[in-house]
């Protein structure tokens, strides 16, 4: 089963987004930015999804540790709906777009793993 670490500093958004992400069929753990580092050191995830409530500094620190520990881990940044110029690793806060981007990212990761085996 695929696994996602959903990181956000607003507990309400974190809970809602984790519920939405579970619709992908992946196992989802939701954590605050402070909790994420400890969780990453104990568990491997296929994808880390950052809420826009996580500061850029915190995202960079967590991403650096995640990619150092697990080179195949993907990172996805969720933008608020007001920021509608998504870069390749970003998705809007709209749940439908988020699910589509998460599924695409997980499928791409799976395809790369299978081609390297």
Nearest-angstrom CA–CA distance, 84 and 52: 13
**Mean pLDDT score across all residues of the chain:** 81
**Whole-number pLDDT of residue 110:** 62
Task: Please tell me whether the overall predicted TM-score, pTM, comes out greater than 0.85 for this model.
Answer: no
**Whole-number pLDDT of residue 93:** 55
CATH annotation of 3-116? 3.40.50.2300
Q: Calculate mean pLDDT across residues 74-83.
A: 72
10 Å Cβ neighbour count for 55? 12
pLDDT band of residue 112 (cuts 50, 70, 90) is: low
Task: Quick: pLDDT tens for 27-38.
Answer: 999 999 999 999
Helical axes 11-21 vs 95-116, angle rounded to 10°: 60
pLDDT band of residue 42 (cuts 50, 70, 90) is: very high
**Whole-number pLDDT of residue 80:** 67
């Amino acid at each position: 089963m695929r696994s996602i670490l959903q990181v956000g500093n607003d507990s309400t958004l974190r809970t809602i987004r984790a519920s939405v992400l579970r619709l992908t069929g992946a196992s989802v753990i939701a954590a605050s930015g402070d909790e994420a580092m400890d969780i990453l050191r104990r568990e491997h995830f296929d994808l880390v999804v950052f809420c826009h409530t996580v500061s850029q500094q915190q995202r960079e620190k967590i991403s650096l540790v995640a990619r150092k520990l697990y080179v195949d881990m993907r990172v996805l940044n969720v933008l608020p709906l007001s920021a509608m110029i998504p870069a390749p690793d970003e998705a809007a806060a709209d749940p439908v777009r988020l699910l589509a981007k998460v599924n695409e990212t997980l499928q791409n990761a799976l395809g790369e793993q299978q081609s390297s085996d």
